Amino acid sequence: MTVQINKPYVIGLDLGGTNSVFGIVDARGEIKATTAIKTQGFDNAKDYVDAAVSALQPIIEQVGGIETIKAMGIGAPNANYYNGTIETAPNIAWAHDIVVPLAQMFSDALGIPVAITNDANAAAVGEMTYGVARGMKNFIVITLGTGVGSGIVVNGQIVYGCDGFAGELGHVTMVRGEEGRLCGCGRTGCLETYCSATGVARTARELLAKTNQPSLLRDLNPDDITSLDVSIAAGKGDELAKNIYEFTGKMLGEACADFATFCSPEAFVFFGGMVKAGDLIMNPIKEAYDRHVMPVFRGKAQFLISSLDGASAAVLGASALGWEI
């Protein structure tokens, strides 16, 4: 990472299915200015980029003009780092069934270099630049949200693989054969089907149906239960809710033990809404990891929670990509 003193800022764009949030960030990860637009409601990518640049102009002026900006980083679904594109993103109308060269479009409009990657890789770059993974060369960020994502850093570089899509650890197979849960990717038994927020809700429904264990969760309509409900119940000492975290953490810990055989990371960094459960989820992860990891790796990896602030974490992650260009 080379920070040019005369260009002290980068722009980060967290491009979500609903909102697009922009931040201008300095080398220490301080957000100097922000703005946002809706992601949807545009007929095509050009209209989206035009609206984005219009929203950006005032905050760029605020920090001293485009001359002070080194580059821009974008975190977006279905992003291909190598090509600078969003490729057939199912949840974005203007990128639904086409390949959008979004990095080039922003670069042309702003006159600065632009890079793009998915949100989990952006989170990994963010942790390496501003967060708990500063100075680390080998670590894995695992994002626990609606899905399970991952950003893998080996020898100080994000692992993009031959096609730009590497780092999909949410889709390693944890339960083989018939009994594996059906995944959104079309396969069964993926880690994501158990350990995402939706996976946790699914586990809650299964445990409520399978057992007679009393639980605060029984007061809710099973179909409406969310991971937040499970978290709240567990916080109140609800045993069944705590069992759900045990189950979820155990599977994550076993998965991390497999990941260690790959790249022997110095840390696993957990990121996303579910991490708010703290020890409830982290303790079972660590216990299962210690029980399942190969002896040669035991005790070597730290288990950390992202230090980037929740609301701005995605923007910070995206912005960090700007320093790498």
Applying CB under 8 A, the residues found at the interface with its own copies are 137-138, 152, 154-155, 157, 159-176, 185-187, 254, 257-259, 261-266, 292, 294-297, 300-301
Nearer to its own copies, 176 or 210 (CB): 176
Instruction: Determine the straight-line distance between the first and last CA of the chain, rounded to whole angstroms.
Output: 9
Strand arrangement, sheet containing 99-100: 79-80, 85-87, 99-100
Residue 54 CB, shortest distance to its own copies, in Å, is 34
Cα separation, 261 vs 219, in Å, equals 43
CA distance 114 to 134: 23
Two tokens, residue 71: 């580059």
Q: Which is nearer to its own copies, 12 or 164 (CB)?
A: 164
Angle among Cα 308, 313, 317 to the nearest 5 degrees reads: 100
| Whether 231 contacts 277, CB under 8 Å | yes
Taking the complex as a whole, the smallest distance from the CB of residue 87 to its own copies amounts, in Å, to 9
Pick the closer one to its own copies by CB: 6 or 155: 155
Strand partners, 144: 148
Rounded to a whole number of angstroms, the minimum distance from the CB of residue 325 to its own copies is 16
- In three-state secondary structure terms, 187 is coil
- Would you say 98 and 88 are in contact if contact means Cβ atoms under 8 Å apart? yes
| Closest CB 47 distance from its own copies, rounded Å | 28
| CA-closest candidate to residue 116, choices 154, 152, 164 | 164
Q: Cβ closer to its own copies: 74 or 257?
A: 257
Min CB(259)–its own copies separation in Å: 8
Which lies closer to its own copies via its Cβ, residue 46 or residue 187? 187
CB of 250 to its own copies, least distance (A): 11
Nearer to its own copies, 172 or 216 (CB): 172
